[in-house]
Amino acid sequence: MSIKERYLQIEERIQKACIRSGRKREEVILLAASKTQPVEKILEAYECGIRYFGENRVQEGMEKIDMLKDYKDIHWHLIGGLQTNKAKYAVKYFEMIHSVDRQELVDELEKRASKLGKVQEGLIEVNFGEESKFGVREENLKTLFEYTLTKKHLKIVGLMAIPPYFENPEDVRPFFRKLRLLKEDLEKSFNVKLPHLSMGMSHDFEVAIEEGATIVRIGTALFGERR
Ligand SMILES: *Cc1c(COP(=O)(O)O)cnc(C)c1O
Q: What is the pLDDT of residues 195-224, one digit of tens each?
A: 999 999 999 999 999 999 999 999 999 999
List the domain boundaries for the chain: 3-223
Query: Who's near 176: CB < 8 A, 6+ residues apart?
Result: 161, 163, 199, 200, 204, 207, 208, 211, 212, 213
Phi then psi for 118, rounded to 5 degrees? -115, 150
| Spatial CA neighbour of 49 closest among 28, 70, 32, 24 | 32
Per-residue confidence (pLDDT) for residue 92, from 0 to 100: 98
Mean pLDDT of the chain: 97
* Structure confidence at residue 131 as a pLDDT band (50, 70, 90): low
Question: From atom 4 of ligand 1, which residue's Cα is the shortest distance away?
Answer: 219
Q: Which amino acid appears at position 57 of this protein? A: R
Q: pLDDT value at position 74?
A: 98
| Ligand 1 in reach of 56 Cβ (< 6 A) | yes
pLDDT, residue 226, reads: 81
Pick the CATH number of 3-223 from 3.20.20.70, 3.20.20.10, 3.40.50.10140, 3.40.50.2030: 3.20.20.10
Distance 69 CA to ligand 1 centre (A): 23
Ligand 1 atom nearest the C-alpha of 205 is 9
Pocket perturbation via mutation, ligand 1, pick of 6, 79, 99, 125 by most ligand atoms within 8 A of CB = 79
Predicted local confidence at residue 213, as pLDDT: 98
Q: What is the mean pLDDT of residues 174-187?
A: 98
pLDDT in tens, 62-81: 999 999 999 999 999 999 99
Residues 66-96, buried b or exposed e (16+ Cβ, 10 A)? Answer: eebeeeeebebbbbbbbeeebbbbbbbbbeb
161 lines ligand 1 (CB under 6 A): no
- Please report the pLDDT score of residue 38 as a whole number: 97
Instruction: Compute and round to an integer the Cα radius of gyration of the chain.
Output: 17
Q: Residue 132's pLDDT is what?
A: 66
Ligand 1 pocket residue status of 198, Cβ below 6 Å: no
Q: What is the mean pLDDT of residues 150-167?
A: 96
pLDDT tens for each residue of 81-118: 999 999 999 999 999 999 999 999 999 999 999 999 99
pLDDT at 150 over 70: yes
Residue 17 pLDDT greater than 80, yes or no: yes
Identify the DSSP state of 53: E
Whether 55 and 78 have beta carbons less than 8 Å apart is answered as yes
Predicted local distance difference test score (pLDDT) of residue 152:
98
> Beta 120-127 vs 154-161: how paired, if at all?
parallel
Which residue's CA is the nearest one to ligand 1's atom 10?
217
Ligand 1 atom, smallest distance to 220 CA? 8
pLDDT at 46 over 90: yes
Nearest CA to ligand 1 atom 5: 219
Mean pLDDT calculated for residue range 35-49: 98
Look up the pTM and report it.
0.97
Alpha carbon nearest to ligand 1 atom 2, residue:
33
Q: Answer for the pair 199, 183: CB distance below 8 angstroms, yes or no.
A: no
